[in-house]
Amino acid sequence: MAGGSKRYSRNNSNGNFQPLPERGPVESLIYWRDVKKSGIVFGAGLITLLAISSFSVISVFAYLSLFALIGTVVFRIYKSVTQAVQKTNDGHPFKEYLELDLTLSQEKVQNIAGVAVAHINGFTAELRRLFLVEDLIDSIKFGGLLWVFTYIGAWFNGMTLVILAFVSLFTLPKVYENNKQSIDTYLDLVRSKLTEITDKIRVAIPLGKKPVAAAAESDKDK
């Protein structure tokens, strides 16, 4: 689908199609709204990650920067020669990019820092809750997840996981979008089964979070 095309959803009340809100640049890339742009980013990113997995980060950064510099220098010389031969005055070939404002405003930095701090605080609080067994069932599930990670760590190294995550970022969202109804059906089935099993375990092992009603009665008795 072309990058400029709009997405539409059916309005259940009158059956008409209404335009959906436009996605951000990152979402547009991973959902392949513009195949050319997404292909360039995906290909460049994958090649970079594969290179880092085989060579040092410094070497990869140096070689990529060197190739980019050679490309811009050659293009700059080519455009200068072309302008001299054709007697034109088109100016600097990268003038548009040289005039781009790349500075970060203080407000934007503060917003990013605020979001990062909120996520870090939430992550820290969740880890404390799990490791200190505020809820036994949640801590057991967390332990099971860590046990699975021990096998994943034995099968793959960190860089391989990063590459798999990058490939998944550019494939799974589009697969889900194209098969949303059937995937949601299976996810709801799995979720209901897990909830059922968890409820049975909570009944068998009454050490998790206190039910709200029981907690209220306990407070009244005090």
The encoded tokens of residue 88 equal 């034109």
Alpha helices for 89-134 (secondary structure H): 95-98, 106-131
What the block records as the tokens of 117 is 């701090």
Q: Is residue 120 pLDDT above 70, yes or no?
A: yes
> Considering Cα of 163, then 166, then 172, then 174, what sign does the dihedral take?
negative
User: What is the SS3 assignment for 17?
Assistant: strand
Residue found under tokens 């085989």 = 54
For residue 58, is it within any domain?
yes
Question: Over the stretch 128-175, which tens digit does the pLDDT of each residue have?
Answer: 999 999 988 889 989 999 999 999 888 888 889 999 999 999 999 999
Does residue 207 fall inside a structural domain?
no
Q: Is residue 16 part of a domain?
A: no
**Is 183 domain-assigned?**
no
Average pLDDT value over all residues in the chain: 83
Within a domain: 136: yes
Cα 54 to Cα 47, 48, 64: the distances in Å are 11, 10, 14
Q: Is 93:79 a contact under the CB 8 Å cutoff?
A: yes
Counting the structural domains of the chain, the total is 1
pTM of this prediction exceeds 0.85: no
Is 195 inside a domain boundary? no
Domain span at residue 42 reads: 26-86+117-178
Give domain status of residue 98, yes or no. Answer: no
54 assigned to some structural domain = yes
